[in-house]
Amino acid sequence: MNLGIGQNIFHRLDRVLASDLYKPDILHTIYLGLFKYMMDWIEAFVTKHGRLQAFDEHWKALPPYPGFLVPKKAYREVTQWQGKEMRNLGRCIQGVLAVALRQPAGAQAIPFKRALRCVRALVDFNMMAQYRSHTPDTIAYMEEYLDQFHRMKDIFLEFRVTKRTQAKVDKQRNEIRRLRALMRECVATSQRRRMPDDNRDEENEMRNDMVHGLSHFNFIKMHLLSHFCDHIHRFGNILMYSTEIGELAHKTQIKQGWRQLNKNDAACQIVHSYGPQHAIQMRLLNLQSLKNCGPNLSPDVLKHLDRTTSTVWPPVICRRIWKGRRGDVSNIVDFSRISGVSLEIIYRELIRYSRHNLPIDHRLLEDHATLRSLPIELLRQLEVPVLTFQEADVYEIHGARSTVTLHFRNQGSRND
């Protein structure tokens, strides 16, 4: 790919190179770029070889695993893909495709093998690019995976047909069919019966030649992969410059403001509403940081901080997090004492839950004396310690939920 950087405003700044301003981004270059292109190629590839149904069945049959979101729909049934979903796809696409392409026919063995090697090379390159630290060996692995991907990607070239190429193919095919229709009038009847099959084979061969001649992988996100290794050499790991943090900030900076406004000149309203909130939050953090340095401040400053933070800073409610079973909790009174939640609040919530969620013959008695004696069980869902990626002694706890679940055993109904 021949790319050149033209003159822009950054060329006028001292000590700034316009070519160094861009930083490789895994989210938009791989997840929302190459992976989305690759899935379009894979879908067309398995459709051509009659494996689309098997691919969808194995895609929806993936088992659950800590940190993995199980797909609920077939790939082609999902209309919009986000970064977290494409990241989830990168963890399972190799296995799903390998199972879908099992037991190939004689002519399918080589194409299936090249397709699997191409997908595996891109997935391995993506995994290596996520390393927090690199050595010459890891960078060499990345270069090897990228080179293998470029050598094997031709298996998907026929699925890189652009609209312009397809228009040229259709135009040439229509012209050839028009000429053949004129020639049919001069051909004997016995020869006309063999002409359609010959014409069909010739048209398919012509289409394949034109598609392979005009199709290419010359697009910007394919070229950006070649800069990943050089960026690591010069600036360090790629995750430091990821745009995922900025994408997550959209939830608080834009989406929440959009929901709260009347949509009249929304851009200005979002800026004016989020700006003061952000400034106040920064102010409160600065005040709290100064307050933590109490011994080094004068009494007048401490007095001012106490007066300011007491009127602005929201009260912090300390809650205890329980892990596992406790032997000193057997009823509502014990639960209130340990958790710090008043009995009145517990009674009110139990009665509200009973009225709205339980059938009439299984509702709790609304007598406080009866509720006080209800036995409870503290349950915790399964938590699996998983070794953190590229860390030696750091584990992440994976579980469906991290909160404590309370299970109330109803001893009887109102009719008992």
Q: What residue ranges do the domains of the chain occupy?
A: 9-160+218-239, 163-214, 244-312, 332-408
pLDDT in tens, 165-220: 777 777 777 777 777 777 666 666 666 666 565 566 666 677 667 766 777 888 88
Per-residue pLDDT, 193: 60
Distance CA 265, CA 286 (A): 32
Q: Which of 247, 234, 29, 246 is nearest to 130 (CA)?
A: 29
Q: Tell me the CA distances in angstroms from 232 to 21, 226, 235, one per residue in order.
A: 14, 11, 5
Question: CB–CB of 25/242 below 8 Å?
Answer: yes
Question: CB–CB of 96/58 below 8 Å?
Answer: yes
Q: How many CB atoms lie within 10 A of CB 226?
A: 13
Distance CA 329, CA 335 (A): 6
Distance CA 241, CA 23 (A): 7
Q: Tell me the CA distances in angstroms from 2 to 42, 149, 153, 223, one per residue in order.
A: 28, 20, 20, 10
pLDDT in tens, 83-101: 778 888 888 999 999 999 9
Place of tokens 């006028």: 12
What residue type is assigned to position 133 of the chain? S
Q: What is the pLDDT along the chain (416 residues), one digit of tens a residue?
A: 555 556 767 777 777 777 777 788 888 899 988 999 999 999 999 999 999 999 999 998 888 877 787 888 888 888 778 777 888 888 899 999 999 999 998 889 999 999 999 999 999 999 999 998 999 999 999 999 999 999 999 999 888 877 777 777 777 777 777 777 776 666 666 666 665 655 666 666 776 677 667 778 888 899 899 999 999 998 888 988 888 777 777 777 787 777 777 778 888 888 787 788 888 888 878 877 777 776 677 777 777 766 665 554 454 455 555 555 566 777 888 878 877 788 888 888 888 888 877 788 878 888 888 888 777 754 445 566 777 665 666 777 665 443 333 444 433 433 33
Distance CA 286, CA 288 (A): 5
Cross-strand partners of 407: 377
